[in-house]
Structure 1
Amino acid sequence: MTHSTNGRRALAGSAALAVALTTAGLAIGPSAAGYGEAVIEPVETDLAGKGWVTARATSNNADAGLALDGDEGTAWQPDVASGRTATSHEGKQGPALTIDLGGAYDGLHKVEVVLADATPARYVVETSADRKRWVTVADHSDGRSGAAGTTALVDREGTRYLRVRFVAATSSAGVAEVHAYNYLRDDLKLGADLSYADQERDQPYYLDAEAALAGAPDPGPQLLDVVKDRGMEHLRLRIWNDPRDETTGVETDPAYQGPERSLTVASEIVDRDMGLGIDFHYADSWADPSKQPKPRAWAELPFDELTREVHDFTADYLTQLIGQGTTPAKVAVGNEVINGFLYGSEAQIIGTTAPQYFTDEADVYQSQPGGGLLWKYWRSEDPAEQQAYNEQWDRFGTLMASGIRAVRESSPESEVEVHAIVDTGRLDKTMEFWTQLLTRLEAADAAPDVLALSYYPEWHGSPEELEHNLHTIAETFPEYALDVAETAYPAESWPPGDPTPLPNSPFPVTVQGQADAIQRVFQVANDVPGNRVQGVLVWEPANWQPMFTWVETSAGWFPEANASLDIYRESDVTHVLEDSVHVVTEVGDGVRLPRTVDVLTPADGNVSGVRVHWQKVPDDATAAPGTFTVDGTSEYGPVTATVHVVPDRR
């Protein structure tokens, strides 16, 4: 129904950079789509369809919800005959319908009101942040404009309430539907966990097609240049204490993603003017919901000493980052810690079997207690099991508080994040996690700033479940910001050729499906009321469910960005168009369509007119009462006029 143009994310330098060519001998310019095809439109949501959006009215309140039911055949209409229409909860100013969006929105830029019928009405459309101070965005109080409906463009941050207020009530006054369109807000940070950039330093990611055609090496860590060009704004790096082989436990050489090498990658990120995130795994290899091994150097420490090591390691590394001019914007204390972290002797109850070295050397790694959680005792009626459950929560909370304090002390400009998950159908477990942990952290004066989730549909449910989970956490813990710290979606199946969507996802496994699936996460995050979600990060887009494809060129095989990577710079709106207009005419009369409609540029708040070229209206279009539409085109997209033909009023 609506259309807007895209492209807020800035390009690096004076021109867009290009990645490698798709076939040998074919040059690709900066605007090339890349591997595969993807049509990417700006993110746009009609918030009126969300379950948390409500309506109330100054009269006939029982029918207020009809203005949000998606059916223009039903409407809220004030009860004029009752005499109760002059006074409302906002004061004595005529019958009114108020929409509560459930929280503030900075990206709300368009409101469409469809009236109950095409009879001329005197009304205004208003917005508010607090339901006390109202700003008029469409004034039809003269009764000569706005018949049948109106579309208003909005350029105000913090909008929570919308109101349609009739200056004078008549028997035909009423509202059939209200649509409120939300777009990506400026401060929603989109990026990736790109820790593998450490390994990618020697892999060419060509910046122009001519260099690729010539087979010339293009020096430098170009992966970072490509993602910067495509619009990524924030990159996260995981930190392993002393990197080891996942199976053998042998130290790796080079020590990829260890503290020292990650200092170099952090500098490369900050040098490109991108935000930096640090994700402490507190392990020598992967830490995730299925495994949380202690680092070998800490494995046999008594619990008090382990707690000190968490603090000192965190503080020391952050001090090094700050010393080289790379203060992180955000620091995660642990990675996907829904089951705790730094497993010790409690692993014998948890029953973990990974990583292999953790079980092979159980006498070392499981010799002292750690911070693993005993979920098998949750809700147990056995006093001993319940005591063990609570004691492990205390240990986990103590370790987490130690890491958080280290961030506060050594890098006070950094926000602190705790990162968990919500398994499909297990929101109750995640809510228990946050309740238990935050209660302890708040009591210890070590509360974080951000609550983060991972989201992969194959494990964590549908996009609708993600939306429900984020909304529930936001409502339950209103003092905290939120993040989607990890997400991903494949562009190609293995073996190749099967586009069947992943479990819980509606999107095919194609380049287009990859773009749509990840953009849907952007949308879900952006739509949480109150601007609560700070950002969305794709996990390792050059390596896992990658957004790059290896292609063969005359110089050999090189990674090329999928067209889906453009979601970072094309999901944002640059112009919001008044793309729906209502026109009323009488039977037998001509149709007068507007020559121009409004267009808003959110970057500067400017609203200007743009010419519309309309299709020809059939000669007999107004021969009888009814409704029809006329399509138009403008510089910024299509426009639809809904023409209401009413009986001759003369």
Structure 2
Amino acid sequence: MDFIKGMDISFLPELNKLLPEFYDADGNKKEIWELLKENGVNSIRLRLFHEPENVAESGGYCNLEQTIAMAKQIKQNGMSFFLDFHYSDWWADPGKQVKPKAWEKLEFEELEQAVYDYTRDVLLIMKKEGVLPELVQIGNEIRSGMLFPEGEVPNYRQLVLLVNSGIQAVREIDKDMKIVIHLDQGGRYYYLREWFDACLAAGLEEFDIIGVSYYPFWHGSFMDLKNSLVNLVKRYKKPVVVAETAHAWRNAGDGFIGEQQEKIAGFSASPRGQKQVLDLVMNITASLDNNMGLGIYYWEPVVLPLEGKGGWWSNMGVFNEKAAALPALSCFRFVREDFKPREIAKLYEPEKIIQKLGEAVRLPEYIKVLYFDGESKEINVCWEAFLPERAGTFKITGSIPSIGRTVEAEVLVVDEFETSHNYLDNAAFEDGLRGWEIQSLDNRVKTELLQEFEEPFPAPPVNYIYVESPVNFTWKLEKQVKGLEPGRYCLSVEYRGTNTTGVDVRLYAGERNQNYKELVIFPTDESWVTYELPDVVIEKDSVKLGVTMVSPPVFAKIRRFRFLKQN
């Protein structure tokens, strides 16, 4: 199989109603299919909703009629077709797997039959229309299950029976169609192994390809992606495809994506950063032995920042606000022979260093280097002499002789470190959970108080709360603080954890009817990150504050709350 340079462009019928005109990188007006083809796109993925007209927000898009019309265009343009069954009237993802309205009252055995009949009927119609897909996906991002509640993990047996119904229908229509099992968390092998081991033990029938979603601002580092793909192939002897990936071409400030996600991904939300991310994902996938990395699909690149269209449309496509192709579109010209394993993709410059005047500056001895095959290593760096005579911010240059490159470190030199009173008692859980309240409606959500050690050894251990759930869950950690003076305060917490579609984590202070304020946290499990919620207004003498989570299965670590008076 040729290396797949694919796209999910299911939004295209909706976009076409707005009559856009597309342009190539040189400013020439082009028809969209011609533009995609000439840039190397060779496969298209389309999602299929059951009866989207049952959900007003769907606009009726992604129904069977539209999908067949799009599939005909795919075939006419000589591309392969990847069909994504959502088994829902609208979006199905780790955070929600809502049964179609027509199936709501079915008993479990009837639900199994409905999956089989629907899958078979759709494919029979497509066969009659001459648009059978080459790849078929049974459910969308089903790590937390599908068709809730019957198919929700950890009821793997029922989930497997539902998936098997879809697999059987595909096999009956055409044995040449490849069946894809698609999960999120492409960079977190431990989640994927747990799911596949459980489902195979429960009787999951033979399938052909493992599909993963990998968004670098949600699903781990690029090194994590490489490790995950390598281990999936090794353990399950199946080829893999990155069924969804994407990165932003600008910071739109509306969730896709902002400064937090840029930092997590390690690449800027810019045309150059977007191209770097896509180059990396393609190279990492192509790096797998024996061509077991089949290729990638960019999720919804043909969207534009149009009036009334926010979120993904505003900055996640591969066209700018003038509908001109961005550099990332050229990435789809990639072929396996372009794989560049030992070329450097990124040098990880050190975090900002805060140093007291008169004390020796501690600059890192090694810098992490990421290569295009997803491997990384630590390389020695030699820093220029630095002896500050005053407070201020300074840039220091370091040379890396082994690769002929330089890096910079930013150092903030201060006369004295800032100190301030923390109005939160037991803020670091040094006295257990005294004073804190944990709320969760599901006893399957695990909450533990754990410890970890930090440098320099033997520093005392740091306490943190660990939260993990095998199912979708709602969880809250809350504390009431009393004896406060009126004024403005800043609430902060250190947080570390996994992220994916549907994760909603918030740091909050106040109550809904009284000076309530919150900050959306975009988690990463690469390192601890401090999140700050400033300008919390206190008018009386107390406030409720804490962290809320509404999420599919993930884990979280929470430590070191601070509630400081602002000047």
Structure 2-normalised TM-score?
0.54
Is 1:541 aligned with 2:335? no
Give 5+ residue unaligned stretches, structure 2. Answer: 304-311, 341-567
Deviations 1:463-508 (A, max 9, x none): 1100011111111112x12111000011101149988872432322
Cα distance between partner residues in 1 of 2:5 and 2:25: 27
Question: Match of 1:459, SS?
Answer: coil
Out of 358, 367, 372, the position equivalent to 2:152 is: 372
- 1:449 Cα offset (Å): 0.4
Report the CA distance shift for 1:299/1:456 in structure 2 as closer, same or farther (over 3 A). Answer: same
One-letter code aligned to 2:200:
L
Q: Which residue of 2 aligns with 1:139?
A: none
Q: Which residue of 2 aligns with 1:515?
A: 275
Is 1:200 aligned with 2:15? yes
Q: Which residue of 2 aligns with 1:327?
A: 132
Out of 328, 331, 342, the position equivalent to 1:564 is: 328
One-letter code aligned to 2:325:
A
Counterpart mapping for 1:414-493 below 5 A: 414-422=177-185, 426-442=188-204, 446-478=205-237, 480-493=238-251
Counterpart mapping for 1:624-635 below 5 A: none
- 1:225 Cα offset (Å): 2.5
Matched-pair contact (CA < 8 Å) for 2:25–2:325: no
- 1:533 Cα offset (Å): 1.6
Question: Match of 1:550, SS?
Answer: coil
Cα distance between partner residues in 2 of 1:321 and 1:227: 24
One-letter code aligned to 2:287:
D
Cα distance between partner residues in 1 of 2:208 and 2:249: 34
- 1:224 Cα offset (Å): 2.5
One-letter code aligned to 1:418:
I
- 1:297 Cα offset (Å): 0.3
Report the CA distance shift for 1:503/1:411 in structure 2 as closer, same or farther (over 3 A). Answer: farther
Is 1:258 aligned with 2:16? no
Q: How many residues align?
A: 327
Matched-pair contact (CA < 8 Å) for 1:492–1:511: yes
Deviations 1:617-642 (A, max 9, x none): xxxxxxxxxxxxxxxxxxxxxxxxxx
Q: Which residue of 2 aligns with 1:242?
A: 51
Deviations 1:58-85 (A, max 9, x none): xxxxxxxxxxxxxxxxxxxxxxxxxxxx
Report the CA distance shift for 1:499/1:397 in structure 2 as closer, same or farther (over 3 A). Answer: closer
Question: Match of 1:338, SS?
Answer: helix
One-letter code aligned to 1:405:
Q
Report the CA distance shift for 1:318/1:499 in structure 2 as closer, same or farther (over 3 A). Answer: same
Report the CA distance shift for 1:574/1:294 in structure 2 as closer, same or farther (over 3 A). Answer: closer
- 1:205 Cα offset (Å): 3.2
Cα distance between partner residues in 2 of 1:499 and 1:562: 21
One-letter code aligned to 1:455:
Y
Question: Match of 2:7, SS?
Answer: strand
Cα distance between partner residues in 1 of 2:27 and 2:290: 47
- 1:206 Cα offset (Å): 4.2
Matched-pair contact (CA < 8 Å) for 2:23–2:324: no
Matched-pair contact (CA < 8 Å) for 1:333–1:418: yes
Cα distance between partner residues in 1 of 2:336 and 2:290: 19
Report the CA distance shift for 1:328/1:472 in structure 2 as closer, same or farther (over 3 A). Answer: same
Q: Which residue of 2 aligns with 1:225?
A: 34
Question: Match of 1:276, SS?
Answer: strand
Question: Match of 2:217, SS?
Answer: helix
Deviations 1:68-107 (A, max 9, x none): xxxxxxxxxxxxxxxxxxxxxxxxxxxxxxxxxxxxxxxx
- 1:324 Cα offset (Å): 1.2
Report the CA distance shift for 1:492/1:575 in structure 2 as closer, same or farther (over 3 A). Answer: closer
Counterpart mapping for 1:76-91 below 5 A: none
Cα distance between partner residues in 2 of 1:228 and 1:477: 33
- 1:569 Cα offset (Å): 1.3
Matched-pair contact (CA < 8 Å) for 2:5–2:334: no
Report the CA distance shift for 1:519/1:575 in structure 2 as closer, same or farther (over 3 A). Answer: closer
Matched-pair contact (CA < 8 Å) for 1:312–1:406: yes
Report the CA distance shift for 1:521/1:282 in structure 2 as closer, same or farther (over 3 A). Answer: same
Report the CA distance shift for 1:206/1:431 in structure 2 as closer, same or farther (over 3 A). Answer: closer
Matched-pair contact (CA < 8 Å) for 1:423–1:459: no
Matched-pair contact (CA < 8 Å) for 2:115–2:166: yes
Matched-pair contact (CA < 8 Å) for 1:244–1:285: no
Matched-pair contact (CA < 8 Å) for 2:287–2:339: no
Matched-pair contact (CA < 8 Å) for 2:286–2:339: no
Q: Answer with 1 or 2: which has the greater Rg.
A: 1
Cα distance between partner residues in 2 of 1:399 and 1:429: 21
* Alignment RMSD: 2.8
Deviations 1:348-406 (A, max 9, x none): xxxxxxxxxxxxxxxxxxxxxx20113xxxxxxxxxxxxxxxxx211000000000000
Q: Which residue of 1 aligns with 2:6?
A: 191
- 1:287 Cα offset (Å): 0.4
- 1:314 Cα offset (Å): 0.4
Counterpart mapping for 1:373-412 below 5 A: 373-374=153-154, 392-412=155-175
- 1:211 Cα offset (Å): 11
Q: Which residue of 2 aligns with 1:296?
A: 101
Report the CA distance shift for 1:315/1:393 in structure 2 as closer, same or farther (over 3 A). Answer: same
Cα distance between partner residues in 2 of 1:499 and 1:296: 39
Cα distance between partner residues in 2 of 1:486 and 1:469: 15
Matched-pair contact (CA < 8 Å) for 2:25–2:327: no
Q: Which residue of 2 aligns with 1:527?
A: 287
- Larger relative CO (CA 8 A, sep 6+): 1 or 2? 1
Q: Percent identity?
A: 29
Cα distance between partner residues in 1 of 2:110 and 2:258: 52
One-letter code aligned to 2:247:
Y
- 1:414 Cα offset (Å): 0.8
Matched-pair contact (CA < 8 Å) for 1:438–1:447: no
Question: Match of 2:218, SS?
Answer: helix
Report the CA distance shift for 1:251/1:421 in structure 2 as closer, same or farther (over 3 A). Answer: closer
- 1:244 Cα offset (Å): 4.7
Report the CA distance shift for 1:237/1:208 in structure 2 as closer, same or farther (over 3 A). Answer: closer
Deviations 1:124-152 (A, max 9, x none): xxxxxxxxxxxxxxxxxxxxxxxxxxxxx
- 1:526 Cα offset (Å): 0.8
Cα distance between partner residues in 2 of 1:575 and 1:338: 30
Report the CA distance shift for 1:574/1:300 in structure 2 as closer, same or farther (over 3 A). Answer: closer
Deviations 1:281-331 (A, max 9, x none): 000111001110000000110011110010010011111111111121100
Report the CA distance shift for 1:251/1:315 in structure 2 as closer, same or farther (over 3 A). Answer: farther
Cα distance between partner residues in 1 of 2:115 and 2:339: 48
Question: Match of 2:321, SS?
Answer: strand
Matched-pair contact (CA < 8 Å) for 1:269–1:275: yes
- 1:534 Cα offset (Å): 1.2
Out of 293, 305, 309, the position equivalent to 2:110 is: 305
- 1:530 Cα offset (Å): 2.4
Cα distance between partner residues in 1 of 2:295 and 2:157: 30
One-letter code aligned to 2:151:
G
Cα distance between partner residues in 1 of 2:288 and 2:338: 21
Cα distance between partner residues in 1 of 2:296 and 2:26: 34
Question: Match of 2:11, SS?
Answer: helix
- 1:212 Cα offset (Å): 7.2
Cα distance between partner residues in 2 of 1:343 and 1:241: 15
Question: Match of 1:301, SS?
Answer: coil
Matched-pair contact (CA < 8 Å) for 1:499–1:510: no
Cα distance between partner residues in 1 of 2:32 and 2:112: 37
Cα distance between partner residues in 2 of 1:494 and 1:309: 42
